[in-house]
Amino acid sequence: MASGAHKVDISWERRPAGVVARVVYDYTRKLNALNPPALLDLTEALQSLSREDDLRVVVLSGAGGRAFVGGADINHMLTMKSSEDGRTFLTQIHKLC
């Protein structure tokens, strides 16, 4: 699930009441900013977790300790050429939520 610039790690902990999953988003060199590949990886990770019957809690965190998510990746935003590009990006963010 990594594109080279970011990675999404999932760890599991089995407890008596069910499974706890921890999802860590790591793009620390950009304060965990979000771009389309990261949004896709995070969405896929959460969708895969939604199919786990024993799962009771998902803890989502950002790596590095400086920021959970620093917002949108400005470098990606600079590549947007149309309002449709912006709409597509915002739709990806909405799907993650």
Cα dihedral: 34, 37, 42, 44 (round 10)? 160
| Tens digits of pLDDT across the chain (97 residues) | 444 588 998 888 888 888 999 999 999 999 999 999 999 999 999 999 999 999 999 999 999 989 899 999 999 999 999 999 999 999 999 988 8
Ordered by where they begin, the domains of the chain are 7-96 (3.90.226.10)
Global confidence as pTM: 0.82
